[in-house]
Amino acid sequence: MRDIKFPIRIFAATTLGLLFMLPLQARGLPDFTDLAERNAPSVVNISTKQQLIRRHRQPFNIPDLQDFPEGSPLGDLMRKFFGNHGFQLPEEGSEKRSLGSGFILSEDGYILTNNHVVEEADQILVRMNDRREFVAEVIGKDERSDIALIKIDADDLPVVEIGDSERLKVGEWVLAIGSPFGFDHSVTAGIVSAKGRNLPSENYVPFIQTDVAINPGNSGGPLFNLDGKVVGINSQIYSRSGGFMGLSFAIPIEVAINVAEQLKTRGRVTRGWLGVLIQDVTNDLADSFNMDHPRGALIARVLPDSPSEKAGLRVGDVILVFNGTKIATSSELPPLVGGSNVDKPAELKILRNGKTKQVKVNIGELPSDDTLELAGNRAPKVSENRLGLMVSSVSEPLRRQLKLPSRRGVLVESATGQAAREAGIQQGDIITMMNNREVEGVEHFNRLVKELPADKTVALLVHRNTGPIFLALRVPEA
């Protein structure tokens, strides 16, 4: 019996082990070899040259280095960092080189890459997978999307197949081919970490976030799905060291192709424009607007002569839906507006004074520069109010720069009250709206403060050097 039981135990253990391993094998890593082999010829290495202009040494007010004893540690340190009273900068005629990647869109030589790869380049050199080299010309560049279209004089080139980034799912495998640190046609793989990411300096690109290893030189290279189709352009990384840290961002291919077609046909890119400055709705602001939960894009300013002003949108409106798409956070709105057709109507659902309303806006074209600078003189101070705010009237020069109506808003001279400090009100802020009512001056402001409901949260619209912003203020008990 013992001779029989032993083999049975071995057989049972082996069977269970095989059954346990089958799911692991089914979930194994995909084979990228065929994908890489098929698409490598369509990916190019891009190097650029830029002539540098002569610049003089920048003087520093430091002692003459000859005054330090030879071999002294301090003298060696000063010589290492300052040389002869300054940094030696490149001389005229020297070159600055940069490396990047790109991929071939058409057999006749159109190539897509990042704007920052070819920006300010005097010469662009494209090297193919078969080691052939071509000098490229720039067809067009778009700084806002970081897309550039270049062209080489060649025929019958291998081209990539364009995919659909909208169908990408979080957790899906993706692969990048590029030239990190100049190592041509390096292949790295990872998964989609998130979609629709909006970076602080990029308002019109809903980035694809991945954990694909991306480093300097990968910029402009393609991001493939497992079908071997391009779904994005590797553009940026989040890093504290300058190298890969697990956070990479790619431009969706639909955005890139749209920009490339406009650059090819018109030489420039047009984007839709509402003409509003927006911010997120926080929990406190949602409470002050009687919203069940934070959502939408809160309008902090309506620019003069803009499509929004003409459509009747107001400061304090919350945009909940844009052309049928729900807006969860304010960062979701700019890409939707930017991708809209100019001079075409858009349907908005907004929240105004606790009620929803449908508004139709005729989309305008995004201006080249929409910045606003704040400046002005201080006016005489007035006494504090129950919020601990000392305010004064707004000077006319400042009012003109803000394009505020006459007698609109008050200038914060100091914020000493606890409620004001907790709300984030700062000296120099200009309060133009409080509790959904426009502030018409110092006396009106103090009257509004007295009428505020105790122990309730109200919204304040303030203007500061970074632009208008809503703040949530908890009114102290009387």
Question: What does the pLDDT look like over 145-160, one tens digit per residue?
Answer: 999 999 999 999 999 9
Residue 53 has what pLDDT? 53
Domain limits for position 356: 272-365
pLDDT bucket at 83, cuts 50 / 70 / 90: very low
- For residues 305 and 237, state if they share a domain: no
Residue-level pLDDT at 438: 87
pLDDT surpasses 50 at 475:
yes
| 312 and 327 together in one domain | yes
Looking at the fold, whether 45 and 143 belong to one and the same domain comes out as yes
Per-residue model confidence (pLDDT) at position 165: 95
pLDDT in tens, 255-271: 999 999 999 998 889 99
Same domain, 146 and 45: yes
Give how far Cα 191 sits from Cα of 188, 226, 246, Å: 11, 11, 11
The CATH number given to whatever domain includes residue 242 is: 2.40.10.10
Q: Where among 222, 243, 265 does a domain terminate?
A: 265
d(CA 185, CA 175): 12
Which has more confidence, 377 or 410?
A: 410
Residue 106 and residue 62 share a domain: yes
Reduce the secondary structure of 292-343 to three states and give it as a string.
CCCCCEEEEEECCCCHHHHHCCCCCCEEEEECCEECCCHHHHHHHHHCCCCC
Task: Give the model's confidence band at 52: pLDDT under 50 very low, under 70 low, under 90 confident, else very high.
Answer: low
Higher pLDDT, 190 or 392: 190
Statement to judge: residues 259 and 282 lie in one domain: no
Q: What pLDDT is stored for residue 452 in this prediction?
A: 86
Between CA 385 and CA 267 the distance in angstroms is: 56
The answer on pLDDT for 26 being more than 50 is no
Catalytic residues: 116, 146, 219
Q: Is 214 helix (H, G, I), strand (E, B) or coil?
A: coil
In this prediction, residues 225-241 reach a mean pLDDT of: 90
Interstrand relation of 161-162 and 229-237 (parallel, antiparallel or unpaired): parallel
Q: Work out the pLDDT band at 7, boundaries 50, 70, 90.
A: low
- Let me know if residue 372 belongs to a domain: no
Is 50 exceeded by the pLDDT of residue 47? Answer: yes
Phi, psi of 209 (to 5 degrees): -95, 130
Domain co-membership, 126 together with 218: no
Is the same domain home to 133 and 58?
yes
Domain count, the chain: 4
Q: Mean pLDDT over residues 292-299, rounded?
A: 92
Query: Looking at the DSSP assignment, which residues form a beta bridge with residue 462?
Result: 431, 469
Instruction: For the chain, give the mean pLDDT.
Output: 81
Q: End of a domain among 299, 332, 365?
A: 365
Residues 65, 146, single domain; the answer is yes
Looking up residue 453, the CATH number of its domain turns out to be: 2.30.42.10
Please report whether residue 62 resides in a domain. Answer: yes
Please tell me whether residues 92 and 134 are part of one structural domain.
yes
- Could you tell me if 233 and 312 lie in one domain? no
Quote the CA–CA distance of 357 and 317 in Å, as a whole number.
10
Determine the Cα–Cα distance for residues 25 and 333; give it in Å rounded to an integer: 43
- Taking CA 26 as the corner, what is the angle to CA 21 and CA 29, rounded to the nearest 5 degrees? 105
pLDDT at 375: 27
Q: Quick one: how far is CA 194 from the chain centroid? A: 14
Confidence at residue 182, expressed as pLDDT on a 0 to 100 scale: 87
**pLDDT at residue 50, as a whole number:** 75
Instruction: Over range 285-292, report the average pLDDT.
Output: 89
Among residues 96, 122, 151, the one where a domain terminates is 151
49-58, 309-318, 455-464: least confidently modelled range: 49-58
**26-30, 79-83, 293-297, 346-350: segment of lowest average pLDDT:** 79-83
> Which amino acid is present at 100?
G
Q: How far apart are CA 457 and CA 170, in angstroms?
A: 38
245 and 278, same domain (yes or no): no
Give a yes or no: residue 21 inside a domain: no
Residue 137 covered by a domain: yes
Cβ atoms within 10 Å of 137's Cβ, excluding its own = 10
Quote the tokens at residue 273.
């424009």
